[in-house]
Amino acid sequence: MGDNDIDELEMLLEQAGNNEKKKIITPKDRIPKTIPMTEGAYKKADMIGPIIKKLSKSDYEWSAFLLAQKDDPKYIVRDIHIQKDQDITYGNVKLKGEDVAKASVEIQKRNKEKGTNLYVIGWIHGHGLGMLSPSGVDKNNFKVVLNSVSLNTEQHLSVPLNLIETNVTKRKEDGKIIYSGSAVEDAVIEYALSNDKLLEKILQEQDIDPEKVNILKKGNLLLESLLDATKINYYQSNIFGFSYFVIMNNKHSKEYASIGLTAEKAITKTDSAEIVEGLEISKVHVENDIEFTEKSLKAELKSRIHIPKPTIYNIEGLNLFNKIKSGKKKKVKKGKKRVSVVAGDYNKHQTGLLPKGSTHQQHETSNRTHYYNVLYVGSMALKTIEDNIIKYESLGAKGKMSELKEFMNMIQEIDYVVGFNAKEEIINSYFENKYSMQKNLSLDKKKDVKKDGK
């Protein structure tokens, strides 16, 4: 083989390599572009929060699992499996790996009894009246689900494996052609001719007389030329799985929909996880969709969720909102205490909101105005919430401020009708009932500290 032949071979191989270039497929290309749900599954998910509100008089958060059918290439959500024995609250829901395992066992039992073939493909979470964005607790809960159920959607792709990631250097040593990089993590690749008889045969096929040349030297020159003209691609399996993540609220706002993705490369053992956000739910019409009534769903929720009984805050607080919005002067009974609320009329000495020298100005309820800045009232309400968090929990609980947005939204609904004193009563009632503690809890702690001498 002459130099011209080698040059021509290099050119042909380079052209072939360019023609074979194609887009590398990633796990993101394999996961659904939307979250498909049957009409029945979507309707069931949308009704859970409002039914819980009917039962508890509160917009509590809730948790459930999304179920898909095995061997369904479209990964359609076909039913909603309520998380059993969950304690629902305003701020968040608790989810552990054992909850996912318990749900999986229940679903397997159901499959045997009803002849279905369902499995957990994701997690759905109700936010009450809250905003449709995941909190830190929500994301941690979803990670638990993702790590537990990604095996249900496991797939694999061949991805490039770069044995040498830095600049490649070539050297010849002891009859070997060696390729290596500058980093210690890079592989070292050796090529060597090992069979003289086979080499002689190859040379003869190229019209080279083995008796007239140095077989090893000629063979190495040929091998080196072929290696230089050859592009070798290495691949490894990228094993990945995914899970759906949905948040809904009782306002029936546009849902938060995302897909969690976890992947691990088989040889390098590098793993990754991410949440692909900004997706939409697509409703799908299917035959044999789930069937239920409001009555049957209510019974299912009562059997699987610890629904708190309505409290003073739940009942009287909602009544208070309605009476305030009506603009009528009424008295609201709260235990032994009676709170007088008048739209646009409140005690300036109690609130302390009026600057010195100011006079109380009575405004008509119809124009929904105040004699003070509404924004100031909002900031005072936030301060009252923060004070209650510090009192009833700890300084470290300030992070829960973000989880009380739903409560603030409720308060803001009456901002143009009621003064701060009424808001303060509602806020304090909320914390007293939620934590079942007395207002002087912080004082009791101080007394205990003095007794212990600490």
In whole angstroms, how far apart are CA 210 and each of 63, 194, 219? Answer: 78, 16, 10
- Range 1-6 contact pairs with CB under 8 angstroms and sequence separation of 24 or more: 1/206, 1/208, 1/222, 6/225, 6/229
- Domain residue ranges of the chain, discontinuous segments joined by +: 31-158+238-306, 162-233, 312-448
Task: Answer yes or no: are the C-beta atoms of 386 and 401 closer than 8 Å.
Answer: yes
Residue appearing with tokens 């309605």: 322
The pTM assigned to this predicted structure is 0.62
C-alpha to C-alpha distance for 150 and 219, rounded to whole angstroms: 51
Residues 192, 197, 202, CA angle at the centre, nearest 5°?
75
Specify the 3-state DSSP secondary structure of 299.
Answer: helix
Nearest to 220 by CA among 198, 204, 197, 199: 199
Task: Answer yes or no: are the C-beta atoms of 238 and 27 closer than 8 Å.
Answer: yes
Alpha helices in 79-234 (DSSP H): 97-114, 136-149, 196-205, 215-228
C-alpha to C-alpha distance for 358 and 360, rounded to whole angstroms: 7
31-158+238-306 CATH, one of 3.40.140.10, 3.90.1150.10, 3.30.70.260, 3.30.70.600: 3.40.140.10
Specify the 3-state DSSP secondary structure of 247.
Answer: strand
Q: Which amino acid is at 447?
A: K
- Kindly state the helix (H) or strand (E) to which residue 442 belongs, with its residue range: helix 441-452
Cβ density class 103-140: b for 16+ within 10 Å, e for less: bbeebeeeeeeeeeebbbbbbbbbbbbbbbebbebbee
| Per-residue model confidence as pLDDT tens digits over 300-331 | 999 999 887 765 444 444 454 455 445 444 44
CB half-sphere exposure, 342, CA atoms < 13 A: 9
The confidence score (pLDDT) of residue 131 equals 82
The confidence score (pLDDT) of residue 424 equals 60
Taking 70 as the pLDDT cut, the residues of the chain under it are 1-23, 310-454
Neighbours of 399 (CB within 10 A): 11
Residues 87, 92, 96, CA angle at the centre, nearest 5°?
65
C-alpha to C-alpha distance for 87 and 403, rounded to whole angstroms: 16
Cβ density class 372-387: b for 16+ within 10 Å, e for less: beeeebbebbeebbee
Alpha helices in 271-418 (DSSP H): 294-304, 312, 318-326, 348-351, 374-392, 405-412
